[in-house]
Amino acid sequence: MSGCFFLDHAGEVLLTRNQDALSWKFLDSSDCERRNCLGIRNSENLKTEIKFSDIYAVEFANYGVVHSPKLGIRHAKECRLLKTREMYRFTVHGFQSSTKEPCLWKLATFTFGHTDLQTCQSWMDQLNYSLIKEIERPRHLLVFVHPKSGKGNGSKIWETVSKIFNLAKVNTKVVLTERAGHAFDVMASIQNKELHLYDGIIAVGGDGFFNEILNGYLLSRLKVPLPPSPSDSFNSFQSRGSSSVPESGDAVHETDQKEHFPLLPDSNQEVMNFRAFNGSCEGIEGPDHPFNGERPRFGLIPAGSTDAIVICTTGARDPITSALHIILGRKIFLDAMQVVRWKTASTSTIEPFIRYAASFAGYGFYGDVISESEKYRWMGPKRYDYVGTKVFLKHRSYEAEVMFEEAEAENAKASPHTRSKRWPFRNTTRSEKIPCRAKCSICNSKTEDGKIISTRPNARWCRTRGRFLSIGAAVMSNRNERAPDGLVVDAHLSDGFLHLILIKDCSLPKYLWHLTELAKKGGEPLNFEFVEYHKTRAFTFTSIGEESVWNLDGEIFEAHHLSAQVLRGLIPLFASGPEFRFDYEDDLKKVLDNRPYKYSRRMVILQRWKPIISPSFPSRIPFWIILKDLPLHYWKKELLYSIGNEIGDLKTHELSAMAAKIKVEIDGLKPLTK
Ligand SMILES: Nc1ncnc2c1ncn2[C@@H]1O[C@H](COP(=O)(O)OP(=O)(O)OP(=O)(O)O)[C@@H](O)[C@H]1O
């Protein structure tokens, strides 16, 4: 389907409706420059296509003015007085991602005019028909707004984005919270029948607020086997005839998950067979149970102090971007951490109490910061900087014991290719630095059994005991403005792992060094001898002292005995993952653009790179490398580029993951010869 229209502020176009996009071609060649009166390119009008999946509304704009500029600097004077014509119009509402920040989505509108009303109407009908086919889009949403979130802007932020929801004809039922716990109570008490009326639950607030909503939903509905308690693990270890407490990091115990089945009063004693990737689950009792069918999708519009979850899942901290992810029905699955407190204090009786976290659980430094910062809530987001410094200077360490399930395959993979150059105080293994991105292959790799609980029945457990400045378990990377790469670069949104970081007691300057590495882009915060980093599916924690405060998604959680496990892909979320570019990708482009690039005899087939290429593409060897006549820093870049060229069918994120691995490896290599 195609026809001639006037595109407002651009000129006459041939508009075509393709299978999955609306595209247009300028009919007047002088329009090609698409500059405004000052000769500045109008990037919005430069666009000549918009995919249906990126259109959130099509609106009839009645009879009115369509501007068509006289273009070029020659016409600058006339340009101020744009040529105008009156005609029937319809507007296509979509978004454009910023070239500098591809994750940041900006609203874009395209108004097309035609003298014939019927033509406009028939195009509108066709476009609306195409949009109806976007079945993943929500129609009815339950929205919780935390008015005091972050800088107290929650209501204002909702007011701004609600206009986009209205335009997209998404119905919203809004609950403005009046107190802490309000959203939790609504989610816990809402009948499943009513919940099914909504296509999603949206939080306008921070990570803590999202956590509250998630817990309100999950606590009364999700019943899964609990992770082993610390004493279960330890007793089991002792009953196998060993009484010694091995040194830190020693593997001490093989545990059988069957001994530690659910303690929830009415939970099913079977391991429930959840499917992590299609949103449906099996094995849950009750036909009315929401876990029987499609789980509601959650959404988060950032208004908080940190907003790490939004940054990790959309790549931007921007309410409009998040609103568009929701309206356009983007979908990913997030891992969640099930945390069980067995004892609140050393003298308490054992009483399991469950909470879920979507981003992070932290102890020691993190617990102290969160409990102290509650006193300074009036300071807004700045409280974290102030309290962080105060807690850092106190330099308190805590004695504790941590046991964690060893993820053998992953740990084996991490070495030796992830060895880095030797630094003083540095650890021998470090993270692989493959960040999670949109359509991430790591997150989309299915588990063999497809279960959300992926702890292994006969997994080995390791134990470490000592004094710690902090203990952190990250479900996702937790990128935020204070830690641009996150707490753990390698932590993916749905990789089925908890990323355990143990910071052993060390001097204040060393700890400061670690924190500085955390705060800088490309830093190496895990690469210290006093930092242990483990990928695990479950861990237990026992405090040796009296006090014990954890930080769960930015909220206080007192726990003396605690265990946690990852639930893979538990949370369906309106997002598509961060679409960011690595710095070196830009460098590579520059190298390519600035010098003539010829494939010639300078290429060498490089079979020996095979072991470091991700297992998903070993068969696509050969890779090419350009070596000769180039300074070292050039060929590093060209290597990465040429690999990309040779494997043209690889998706960008796969290529980047591979390039990131190679980049690490390359640091330790001498230049190669033919
Ligand atoms: N109306 C309200 N008044 C007071 N507290 C509220 C209200 N609504 C929700 N809360 C509580 O405020 C807590 C913090 O909310 P939120 O996470 O939005 O803000 P934040 O702490 O500023 O942001 P972040 O978690 O990103 O650091 C939530 O756990 C929630 O229980």
Check residue 278 and give its pLDDT.
Answer: 31
- Which residue minimizes the CA distance to atom 22 of ligand 1? 150
Check residue 198 and give its pLDDT.
Answer: 95
Do 607 and 501 belong to one domain? no
Do 627 and 568 belong to one domain? no
- pLDDT category at 324 given cuts 50, 70, 90 is very high
Domain CATH for 399: 2.60.200.40
- Residue 180 C-alpha to ligand 1 middle, in angstroms? 7
| 250 belongs to a structural domain | yes
- pLDDT category at 156 given cuts 50, 70, 90 is very high
pLDDT averaged over every residue in the chain? 74
| 412 belongs to a structural domain | yes
Do 15 and 154 belong to one domain? no
- Residue 482 C-alpha to ligand 1 middle, in angstroms? 19
| 672 belongs to a structural domain | no
Segment (H or E) for 670: none
- Residue 255 C-alpha to ligand 1 middle, in angstroms? 39
Residue 313, ligand 1, Cβ within 6 A: no
- Residue 295 C-alpha to ligand 1 middle, in angstroms? 24
- Which residue minimizes the CA distance to atom 5 of ligand 1? 180
Residue 259 has pLDDT above 90, yes or no: no
Check residue 658 and give its pLDDT.
Answer: 53
Distances from the Cα of 331 to the Cαs of 37, 248, 275, 415, in angstroms?
Answer: 41, 41, 15, 33
Residue 177, ligand 1, Cβ within 6 A: yes
Q: Among residues 573, 599, 627, which one ends one of the domains?
A: 573
Question: Which of 299-308, 377-386, 550-559 is predicted with the least confidence, judged by mean pLDDT?
Answer: 377-386
Check residue 611 and give its pLDDT.
Answer: 35
Do 569 and 589 belong to one domain? no
- Residue 31 C-alpha to ligand 1 middle, in angstroms? 51
Q: Among residues 109, 132, 155, which one ends one of the domains?
A: 132
- Residue 182 C-alpha to ligand 1 middle, in angstroms? 10
Check residue 82 and give its pLDDT.
Answer: 53
Residue 307, ligand 1, Cβ within 6 A: yes
* Start-to-end Cα distance in the chain: 55
Do 635 and 497 belong to one domain? no
Check residue 347 and give its pLDDT.
Answer: 83
- Which residue minimizes the CA distance to atom 2 of ligand 1? 179
| 593 belongs to a structural domain | yes
Q: Based on the number of CB atoms within 10 Å of its own CB, is 356 exposed (0-12), middle (13-18) or buried (19 or more)?
A: buried
Do 497 and 469 belong to one domain? yes
Residue 216, ligand 1, Cβ within 6 A: no
Residue 305, ligand 1, Cβ within 6 A: yes
- Residue 289 C-alpha to ligand 1 middle, in angstroms? 29
β partners of residue 501: 472, 533
Check residue 449 and give its pLDDT.
Answer: 55
Give the pLDDT mean for 144-160.
94
Do 60 and 176 belong to one domain? no
Residue 243 has pLDDT above 60, yes or no: no
Residue 208, ligand 1, Cβ within 6 A: yes
Do 283 and 309 belong to one domain? yes
Do 493 and 619 belong to one domain? no
Domain CATH for 42: 2.30.29.30
Residue 209, ligand 1, Cβ within 6 A: yes
- Residue 330 C-alpha to ligand 1 middle, in angstroms? 25
Do 101 and 208 belong to one domain? no
Give the pLDDT mean for 136-154.
93
Long-range contacts of 63-69 (CB under 8 A, 24+ apart): 63/87, 63/88, 63/89, 63/117, 64/89, 66/6, 66/8, 66/111, 66/113, 67/8, 67/9, 68/6, 68/9, 68/10, 68/11, 68/12, 69/9, 69/10, 69/11, 69/36, 69/37
Could you identify the atom of ligand 1 that is nearest to the CA of residue 302?
26
Interval 599-621: pLDDT, tens: 332 333 333 333 333 333 333 33
- Containing structural domain, residue 641: 583-666
Give the pLDDT mean for 297-316.
93
- Residue 407 C-alpha to ligand 1 middle, in angstroms? 35
Could you identify the atom of ligand 1 that is nearest to the CA of residue 176?
1
Question: Which of 81-85, 145-149, 556-560, 566-570 is predicted with the least confidence, judged by mean pLDDT?
Answer: 81-85
Give the pLDDT mean for 250-279.
32
Check residue 605 and give its pLDDT.
Answer: 30
- Calculate the dihedral angle through the C-alpha atoms of 389, 391, 397, 398, rounding to the nearest 10 degrees: -140
207 is catalytic: yes
Q: Among residues 132, 164, 194, which one ends one of the domains?
A: 132
Residue 77, ligand 1, Cβ within 6 A: no
Residue 215, ligand 1, Cβ within 6 A: no
- Return the amino acid letter for 107: L
- Which residue minimizes the CA distance to atom 11 of ligand 1? 180
- pLDDT category at 85 given cuts 50, 70, 90 is confident
Number of domains in the chain: 3
Mutate to test the pocket of ligand 1, among 143, 144, 145, 149 (most ligand atoms within 8 A of CB): 149
Interval 17-36: pLDDT, tens: 888 889 888 876 554 444 44
Please provide the DSSP assignment of 450-491 as one string.
--SB---TT-EEEEEEEEEEEEEEESS----SSSTT-S-TT-
- Which residue minimizes the CA distance to atom 10 of ligand 1? 180
Other Cβ atoms within 10 Å of 49 Cβ, number: 12
Q: By three-state DSSP, how is residue 46 classified? A: helix
Residue 388, ligand 1, Cβ within 6 A: no
Do 128 and 185 belong to one domain? no
| 375 belongs to a structural domain | yes
Check residue 292 and give its pLDDT.
Answer: 47
Residue 299 has pLDDT above 50, yes or no: yes
**3-state secondary structure string, 386-419?**
HHHHHHHHHCCCEEEEEEEECCHHHHHHHCCCCC
Q: Alpha-carbon distance 411 to 432, whole Å?
A: 11
Longest C-alpha distance within the chain, in Å?
92
Residue 496, ligand 1, Cβ within 6 A: no
- Residue 149 C-alpha to ligand 1 middle, in angstroms? 5
Check residue 450 and give its pLDDT.
Answer: 55
Residue 307 has pLDDT above 90, yes or no: yes
| 15 belongs to a structural domain | yes
Residue 233 has pLDDT above 90, yes or no: no
Residue 356 has pLDDT above 70, yes or no: yes
Check residue 323 and give its pLDDT.
Answer: 97
| 674 belongs to a structural domain | no
| 339 belongs to a structural domain | yes
Please tell me which residue, 262 or 409, carries the higher pLDDT value: 409
- Which residue minimizes the CA distance to atom 30 of ligand 1? 180
| Prediction ipTM score | 0.96
Residue 148, ligand 1, Cβ within 6 A: yes
Residue 69 has pLDDT above 80, yes or no: no
Residue 530, ligand 1, Cβ within 6 A: no
Interval 517-536: pLDDT, tens: 888 887 888 888 999 999 99
Do 330 and 359 belong to one domain? yes
Residues of the chain with pLDDT > 90: what percent?
34
Mutate to test the pocket of ligand 1, among 143, 145, 148 (most ligand atoms within 8 A of CB): 148
- pLDDT category at 46 given cuts 50, 70, 90 is low
- The first and second tokens of residue 332, run together, are 């990913």
Residue 302, ligand 1, Cβ within 6 A: no
Mutate to test the pocket of ligand 1, among 143, 145, 146 (most ligand atoms within 8 A of CB): 146
Catalytic residue among 207, 335, 485, 495: 207
Helix 583-594 to helix 652-666 angle (10° resolution) is 90
Residue 31, ligand 1, Cβ within 6 A: no
Residues of the chain with pLDDT > 70: what percent?
66
Could you identify the atom of ligand 1 that is nearest to the CA of residue 554?
25
